[in-house]
Amino acid sequence: MENIKLSIDNVFNFVSHDTIYAYESEIKNHLDSIHDKTGQGSDFLGWLHLPSSIRDSHIEDIEKTAAKLQGKVDVMVVVGIGGSYLGSKAVSEALSNSFYAMAPNSDAPMLIFAGQNIGEDYHSELLDILDKKTYGIIVISKSGTTTEPAIAFRLLRNHLVDKVGAEKAKDLIIAITDESRGALRKLADDEGFKSYVIPDDVGGRYSVLTPVGLMPLAAGGFDIRAFIQGARDMEKLTDRNVPFSENPSALYAATRNALYREGKTTEILANYNPKLNFLAEWWKQLYGESEGKENKGIFPASVNFTADLHSMGQYIQEGERNLFEIVLSVKSTDRKLIIPEDKDNLDGLNFLAGKKIDFVNKMAELGTMLAHVDGGVPNIQIEIPKLNAYYLGQLMYFFEKACAISGYTLGINPFNQPGVEAYKKNMFALLEKPGFEEETKKIKSRLDKK
């Protein structure tokens, strides 16, 4: 079976082969630190061997829970924010019919997401839709008190209880939370919700292979066994004993850091398949939250080509030269669609007649890569043999491992996120949350002066 492939050939005009390979010794040390758990944030390395350590009994339990739900509901509302929803959202979007709202995948429930924003219209409209649907809730929160998902879960739980009654509602709610602590754990135990554990040693953005990602995906009818197997195989391919030149995560981490030290401070993830839009959102959180600290870090951005070639393409081609790209290229499509001949040829496209749509897309990809490299934008390419659960498992583990290596190369802890708390303190002060009285006085005084 093929694996995803990393190519850095279109980087060597900007940083040399020797410059990148000079990182080999340093990267080896970082891999040893990761595997020996001797580096910063080592308490949060539970994801490292997660693929190979997932027990079959655990997978079976998740699958059985999913099967029970699939017979009862039309919709599963997944409540979470950040790493508690982006992983399952990324995989489900990649593997679903592009128009899944009108053409559901199967008999499995449709996955809908809530708690990732505080939009009043969004949640009101969601409740309106759920009035007409049978639904269940998967609520994901380590503490149960994170503002956005806690508000959404309160609304949804009340709505579900009013709709079906408390006894039926408890069988339609799954809690994924801490093993023994927190508000959601207490509620789950008190109410008798089926629950799964978020491991203490796995941070949210690395949690897609825990029940955080696996339970929603199983409920949505996706093949979690193939997803896990892809990650297992990539775990082996990125092991510390794999030579630097053959280890895709090590090579990617070295290349992006070499570019960063040459002033390429923004990395753009580009894809040519709209099904990968939310994979880019997951990737942005993984790298942004892991590396953006201590006034350091490569800024992660994303574009959806070819659509964004008609908007952001101008800047990428001729704007400030602090950019590099990583391009996700899907080798084979699931479907085949041929461009037809037209007798009048008013659009001038008969030269494409008989060709596959994907052939045109691939030529757009190649042409764009050549133009961007000529314009001063280094390109890294990842070829995905096919868009399926197995290769998504490979891809996501590859990115996780590379992120850890890259963070250590930057000299920061890639597993914490101290800056995330700053907005929360201000928000709680403005909302006059109990315990924030002094902060409320200070922030009101500051605003009054303005």
Can you list the domains of the chain with their CATH numbers?
5-40+231-408 (3.40.50.10490), 50-227 (3.40.50.10490)
Whole-number Å distance between alpha carbons of 390 and 227: 5
Which pLDDT score, from 0 to 100, does residue 290 have? 96
Give the amino acid at 205: R
* Residue 275 in this model has a pLDDT that exceeds 70: yes
Q: Residue 291: pLDDT band by 50, 70, 90 thresholds?
A: very high
* Residue 436 in this model has a pLDDT that exceeds 90: no
* Residue 105 in this model has a pLDDT that exceeds 70: no
Bridge partners of 271, per DSSP, are 304, 328
Span 109-118, mean pLDDT?
Answer: 94
Span 348-352, mean pLDDT?
Answer: 95
Query: What separation, in Å, do the N-terminal and C-terminal C-alpha atoms of the chain show?
Result: 63
Instruction: Kindly report the pTM of this predicted structure.
Output: 0.95
CA 327 to chain CA centroid, Å, is 16
Give the amino acid at 289: E
Whole-number Å distance between alpha carbons of 70 and 122: 25
The overall average pLDDT reported for the chain is: 94
Instruction: Indicate which residues carry an active-site annotation.
Output: 289, 310, 424
Regarding predicted confidence, which is higher, 151 or 418? 151
Residue 24 CA neighbour count, 13 Å, CB half = 12
Whole-number Å distance between alpha carbons of 312 and 315: 5
Whole-number Å distance between alpha carbons of 173 and 144: 14
Span 156-165, mean pLDDT?
Answer: 96
* Residue 102 in this model has a pLDDT that exceeds 80: no
Give the amino acid at 19: T
Which pLDDT score, from 0 to 100, does residue 429 have? 77
* Residue 421 in this model has a pLDDT that exceeds 80: no
Report CA torsion sign: 144, 53, 238, 33: positive
User: 3-class DSSP state for residue 386?
Assistant: strand
Residue 411 phi/psi, 5° resolution?
85, 25
How wide is the angle at C-alpha 116 spanned by C-alphas 49 and 100, nearest 5°?
A: 85
CB-CB contact of 83 with 44 (8 Å): no
User: 3-class DSSP state for residue 137?
Assistant: strand
* Residue 106 in this model has a pLDDT that exceeds 70: no
